[in-house]
Amino acid sequence: MNNNNTIGFIGAGNMAYALISGLIEGGYSPNNIKASDASKEVLSLRNNQFNLEVFTDNLKLASACDVIVLAVKPQILSSVCKEIASITEHNTLFISIAAGIRSVDINRWLGGKASIVRAMPNTPALLGKGASGVYANELVSEKQRNLSKKILDSVGISFWVDDELMLDAVTALSGSGPAYFFLM
């Protein structure tokens, strides 16, 4: 994977961990990956695991990155987006992995001019065996689509859907399908 883009993770929990691991295992330089989180313990852990530059200030992280992965809980996504909205004029790509929050809402919170990809990797992504349906708003360039796919493919497979409403169906199937399989 091309190491020219700096990827920042706002939220450094389990799914961010999976994506960071997948990127690094795929040859992406830890020097071009950054993370922020409300928990200093989580940041310390990610720094020790991957030797990443870590931030407690989301705006500072966002200002230093070309790609922002929004890996926070859905209930705080609005406030996080509003906090970093001032950097959307810099052609930043935003990838949201927050469940259930539509790209139109994320775009509004980011000021209305943001390139947004929305995806929901499933739990097998933690093992590099995930599946993600992916949707891009009309502001996402072909180059950004390709980059998004490479990032998401680092933890399994991803596929594009043309209708964002399809993500809910994909998430329901891919999210509960592995659990059903393991129960059998």
More confident residue, 108 or 159: 108
Question: What is the tally of structural domains in the chain?
Answer: 1
Range of the domain at 37: 7-183
CATH number at residue 63: 3.40.50.720
What's the pLDDT band for 81 if we cut at 50, 70, 90?
Answer: very high
- The pLDDT value given to residue 181: 46
pLDDT digits (tens, 9 = 90+) for 23-33: 999 999 999 99
Residue 18 belongs to a domain: yes
Residue 41 belongs to a domain: yes
* CA 175/CA 160 separation, integer angstroms: 17
Residue 172 belongs to a domain: yes
Residue 2 belongs to a domain: no
Residue 163 belongs to a domain: yes
- Encoded tokens for 140: 């996402």
More confident residue, 20 or 127: 20
Q: How far is CA 54 from CA 1, 11, 22, 87, 91, in A?
A: 22, 11, 18, 18, 22
Average pLDDT, integer, range 126-140: 83
Q: Which contacts (CB < 8 Å, 24+ apart) does range 72-80 have?
A: 72/10, 72/11, 72/98, 73/11, 73/98, 74/98, 74/99, 74/100, 74/101, 77/101, 77/106, 77/109, 78/105, 78/109, 80/10, 80/11
pLDDT digits (tens, 9 = 90+) for 37-52: 999 999 999 999 999 9
Query: Which residue's structure tokens are 């992280």?
Result: 61
Residue 67 belongs to a domain: yes
Q: What is the pTM of this model?
A: 0.89
More confident residue, 172 or 104: 104
